[in-house]
Amino acid sequence: MFLETVSLALSSIRRNALRSFLTLLGIVIGVAAVIAMITIGSGTTERVKADISKLGSNLLTVRSGQPPTPGSAPSKARDFEVKHLTALEANLAGARAISGASQKTVRIVYGTESLSASVTGTDTDFFTVRDWAVALGRTFTGQETRGGIPVCVIGETVRKQFFGSGDPLGAIIRVARVNCPVIGLLESKGTSGFGQDQDNVIIMPMQAFQRRIAGNNEVDTIYVSALDTVPTTEMQKRIETAMREIRKIGPDQDDDFNVRDQTQIANAMTSTMGVMTGMLSAVAGVSLLVGGIGIMNIMLVSVTERTREIGIRLAIGAQEWHILTQFIVEATVLALLGGIFGIGLGLGLAAIASYAFAIPFNPSLSVIALAASFSAVIGLVFGFFPALRGARLNPIDALRHE
Amino acid sequence: MPEQPFIEFADIWKSYGEGEAQVNALAGANLRIGSGEFVTIMGPSGSGKSTAMNIIGCLDTPTSGDYRFMGVDAGRLDRARRAVLRNLYVGFVFQGYNLLARTSAIDNVELPLIYRGAPRRERKIRAAAALERVGLSDRIAHTPAELSGGQQQRVAIARAIVTEPTLLVADEPTGNLDTARSHEIMSLLTRLNQERGLTIVMVTHEAEIAAYGSRIIRFVDGHIASDEQNKDRPHVS
For A67-80, the pLDDT digits (tens) are: 666 555 556 677 88
Identify the pLDDT of residue A74.
Answer: 58
Identify the pLDDT of residue A376.
Answer: 93
Top-confidence residue, A262 or B227: B227
Identify the pLDDT of residue A154.
Answer: 93
Which of A84-98, A172-186, A256-270, B91-105 bottoms out in mean pLDDT, i.e. has the lowest? A256-270
> Do residues B156 and B94 make contact, with C-beta atoms less than 8 angstroms apart?
yes
First to last CA, chain A: 29
- What's the mean pLDDT when you consider all of chain A? 87
In angstroms, the CA A247 to CA A268 distance is 26
For B172-193, the pLDDT digits (tens) are: 999 999 999 999 999 999 999 9
Q: What is the DSSP letter of A191?
A: B
Measured between beta carbons, the chain A residues lying within 8 angstroms of B60 are 396
A194 phi and psi, to 5 degrees?
Answer: -100, 15
Query: ipTM > 0.85?
Result: yes
Shortest Cα distance from A293 to chain B (angstroms)?
A: 28
Measured between beta carbons, the chain B residues lying within 8 angstroms of A15 are 102
Say what percent of chain B tops pLDDT 70.
98
Q: Is A255 on the interface with B (CB under 8 A)?
A: no
Which of A113-117, B127-131, B155-159, B210-214 bottoms out in mean pLDDT, i.e. has the lowest? A113-117
pLDDT at A12 over 90: no
pLDDT at A153 over 90: yes
In angstroms, the CA B212 to CA B185 distance is 11
Identify the pLDDT of residue B108.
Answer: 96
A232 phi and psi, to 5 degrees?
Answer: -60, -40
Say what percent of chain A tops pLDDT 90.
36
> Do residues A197 and A191 make contact, with C-beta atoms less than 8 angstroms apart?
yes
> For residue B88, what is the nearest residue in chain A, using CA coordinates?
A317
In angstroms, the CA B229 to CA B215 distance is 4
State whether A317 and B112 contact (CB < 8 Å): yes
pLDDT confidence bin for B1, thresholds 50/70/90: very low
For B104-154, the pLDDT digits (tens) are: 999 999 999 999 989 999 999 999 999 999 999 999 999 999 999 999 999
Shortest Cα distance from A298 to chain B (angstroms)?
A: 20
pLDDT confidence bin for B29, thresholds 50/70/90: very high
Give the CA diameter of chain B: 56
pLDDT at A124 over 70: yes
Measured between beta carbons, the chain B residues lying within 8 angstroms of A399 are 94, 98
Q: Is A307 on the interface with B (CB under 8 A)?
A: no
Top-confidence residue, B216 or B1: B216
> Do residues A394 and A346 make contact, with C-beta atoms less than 8 angstroms apart?
no
Q: Say which of A319, A320, A396 has its CB closest to residue B60.
A: A396
Q: Is A395 on the interface with B (CB under 8 A)?
A: yes
Closest to A31 measured CA to CA, from A289, A384, A268, A401: A289
pLDDT confidence bin for B218, thresholds 50/70/90: very high
Shortest Cα distance from A18 to chain B (angstroms)?
A: 18
* Amino acid type, A357: F
User: How many other CB atoms are found less than 10 A from the CB of residue B34?
Assistant: 12
In angstroms, the CA B146 to CA A130 distance is 81
Mean pLDDT value of segment B47-67 = 94
Shortest Cα distance from B187 to chain A (angstroms)?
A: 23
> For residue A323, what is the nearest residue in chain B, using CA coordinates?
B115
Please state whether B235 falls in left (phi above 0), alpha (psi between -120 and 50) or beta.
beta
Q: What is the DSSP letter of A197?
A: B
State whether A315 and B86 contact (CB < 8 Å): yes
**Number of A:B CB contacts under 8 A?**
50
In angstroms, the CA B6 to CA B89 distance is 12
pLDDT at A91 over 90: no
Closest to A121 measured CA to CA, from A140, A135, A97: A140
pLDDT at A131 over 90: no
Top-confidence residue, A189 or A312: A312
For B58-87, the pLDDT digits (tens) are: 999 999 999 999 999 999 999 999 999 999
Shortest Cα distance from A330 to chain B (angstroms)?
A: 17
pLDDT at B156 over 50: yes
Which residues, in sequence order, are CB contacts of A46 under 8 Å at separation 6+?
A: A359, A360, A362
pLDDT at B36 over 70: yes
- What's the mean pLDDT when you consider all of chain B? 93
Identify the pLDDT of residue B98.
Answer: 93
What is the gyration radius of the CA atoms in chain B, in angstroms?
A: 18
In angstroms, the CA B169 to CA B166 distance is 10
Identify the pLDDT of residue A93.
Answer: 84
Which of A54-63, A332-341, B204-213 bottoms out in mean pLDDT, i.e. has the lowest? A54-63
Measured between beta carbons, the chain B residues lying within 8 angstroms of A1 are 114, 117
Say what percent of chain A tops pLDDT 70.
95
For A216-225, the pLDDT digits (tens) are: 888 989 999 8
Q: What is the DSSP letter of B3?
A: P
Identify the pLDDT of residue B181.
Answer: 93
